[in-house]
Amino acid sequence: MSWLVSPRRLRELGVLGMNERNIHYIAGFNERRLFPLVDDKLKTKEIALASGLAVPTLIGVVRYQHQINEIAEVLHNQAAFCIKPAKGSGGKGILVIHDHDDELYYKPNDQGLTLGDVKRHLSNILAGLYSLGGQPDKAIIEQLIHFDDHFSGYSFEGVPDIRIIVFKGYPVMAMMRLSTAASDGKANLHQGAVGVGIDLRSGRASHAVQYDRVVHKHPDTGLPLSEVSIPEWDKLMVMAARCYEMSDLGYIGVDIVLDAHRGPMLLELNARPGLAIQIANGRGLAERLVQVKTFAERARMPDERVALVQQSFY
């Protein structure tokens, strides 16, 4: 096992690098003017609803400082919710409250926050602390996603989310991120979450890594990762494919969560999806991207594209 690999070998393996992703795929297939649609989660929600995709229900939006004072009333009726910055990324500024008694608000790890803490968090979001370049922001409050029993034992304190890379409307690679004790309930791979590569045909785990190394069992529960299988997989794939028509962006990362009651829901779109998905799948993206370029564009409906992909990539 060597810790260094030659550029030539990486190219042979079809690994997509950051510079190439930026120049060929993001700059090449994503029009700048469309970025605000996905960089603002509120707008994403709107266009998703307009095109009939399920999203977590919006409880409220905090736009101005004075609205924060009335926040207790808004939250009063909501047993569980999630507060996030509209222009945040990488999980920054996301506050998940799974229970509260109007005085203390409990995070998934049962740490209690006071109302003051919550208000300060909202005020930080508005001031742009979590947004790109520090620009002023909005805070979104939405209903909590209850995770599907299917994954109990596979995710520690967090909702597992599914990331699908969609290129020109064709889903090309997928992974699921399982939070672990090491990742502190966050689904960031570099913090120790488990990345599970998902087979595009079956929706079943094909490969899994933690800290970039292959794992076979969930590090906390010991459950075999090979048993991971996502229900309603084809529905997820079509949902991801439809995000192309919805956003007009050629190269996106679609984040989907499975809600126990409402099924797959679109969480967010990413115009600059990361490259760790390659490690989670144990294979490079480049080959599939090149192959998609040969598929005729737009001519097919989302479900046809999914079918084509499932024939071609395995």
Partner 1 sequence: MQQKVPFYILLLLLVGIGLGSAIHRHIDLEVPWTPGETREVWSVEARLEFTARDKPVIALLAIPETQPGFTLLEQGTASPGYGLSYLTEEDVPAVRWSTQKATGKQVLYYRAQFLLDTRTDKVWPGPPEIEPAPILPELENVAAGRLLDEVRADSANQITLVAQILNTIKANDQKVSLLKQGRDDVELAIMLTQLAGVAARPVTAVNLRHNRRNQDGIPYLMVYEEDQVAFFNLQTGKEGKPARLLLWEMNGQPLIDLEGGRNTRISFSMARVIVPVQQAIEEKYRDLSPIRISLHSLPQEEQQLFRGLLLIPVGVMVVMIVRVLVGLRTSGTFMPVLIALALMQTALGAGLAGFVVVIFAGLVVRSYLSRLNLLLVARISAVIIVVILLTATFSVIAYNLRLVEGLNIMFFPMIIIAWTIERLSLLWEEEGAKEVLQQGGGSLMVALLAYVVMSNIYVQHLTFNFPGLQLVLLAFVLMLGSYTGYRLIELVRFSPLADKENTDQLR
Name the site residues for partner 1 (rule: CB under 8 A): 1-7, 9-10, 13, 15, 17-20, 23-24, 65, 92, 116, 119-120, 123-124, 126-129, 134, 191, 205-209, 212-214, 216, 225-226, 278-279, 282-284
Question: Of 82 and 246, which CB lies nearer to ligand ADP in the complex structure?
Answer: 82
Residue closer to ligand ADP (CB basis): 270 or 284: 270
Nearest to 288 by CA among 13, 19, 18, 29: 13
Tell me the residue nearest to ligand ADP as measured from the CB. 82
* Cα 313 to Cα 288: distance, rounded to the nearest angstrom: 7
Among 82, 209, 240, 289, binds ligand ADP (CB under 6 A): 82
Please state the closest distance from residue 291 (CB atom) to ligand ADP, in A: 28
Amino acid at 75: L
Nearer to Mg ion, 240 or 286 (CB): 240
What residues does 204 pair with on adjacent strands? 229
Which two tokens mark 42?
Answer: 């509120």
d(CA 58, CA 79): 14
**Nearer Cβ to Mg ion, position 26 or 75?**
26
Is 56 a binding residue for ligand ADP by CB under 6 A? The answer is: yes
Q: Which is nearer to partner 1, 18 or 260 (CB)?
A: 18
Judged by beta carbon, residue 129 or residue 308, the one nearer partner 1 is 129
- Residue 36 interface partner, choices Mg ion, ligand ADP, partner 1, none, CB cut-off 5-8 Å depending on type: none
Binding of Mg ion by 255 (CB under 5 A) = yes
Shortest spacing between CB 265 and partner 1, in angstroms: 26
Partner from Mg ion, partner 1, ligand ADP, none contacting 214, C-beta within 5 to 8 A by type: partner 1
Q: Which x/- pattern, by CB under 6 A, does the window 242-271 give for ligand ADP?
A: -------------x-----------xx---
Which among Mg ion, partner 1, ligand ADP, none contacts residue 62 (Cβ within 5 to 8 A by kind)?
none
- Work out what residue 231 binds among partner 1, Mg ion, ligand ADP, none; the CB cut-off runs from 5 to 8 Å by kind: none
Q: Which of Mg ion, ligand ADP, partner 1, none is residue 205 near (CB under 5 to 8 Å by kind)?
A: partner 1
What is the spatial distance between Cα 280 and Cα 283, in angstroms, rounded to a whole number? 8
89 makes contact with ligand ADP (CB under 6 A): yes
Residue ranges in contact with ligand ADP by CB under 6 A: 56, 82, 84, 88-92, 94, 96, 142, 144-145, 158-159, 161, 187, 255, 267-268
